[in-house]
Amino acid sequence: MIREIFQDITDTFDMNQWNVLWVDDKGKSHGKRFYYKHHARDFYKSLPYMNKRMERA
């Protein structure tokens, strides 16, 4: 809970957007853009694929 509050506060001051990129089992590339880093991080962790990365947009 404290970690989530801290992430919300620090993400408020982070003016970057975040991309999560991944390659699925069929070799097709995908991407999704997030405004908040903690949303991108949660989505990144939920992906079951090995070929994935998170980067600033």
pLDDT (tens place) for every residue of the chain, 57 residues total: 777 777 766 666 667 899 999 999 999 999 999 998 999 999 999 999 999 999 998
What is the reported pLDDT for 13?
66
Please check whether residue 49 is in contact with residue 22, taking contact to mean a CB–CB distance below 8 angstroms: yes
Q: What is the pTM assigned to this prediction?
A: 0.74
Q: Do 22 and 47 form a contact (C-beta atoms < 8 A)?
A: yes
3-state secondary structure of 53: strand
DSSP string, 2-51: HHHHHHHHHHHH----EEEEEE-TTS-EEEEEESSHHHHHHHHHH---SS
pLDDT at 57: 87
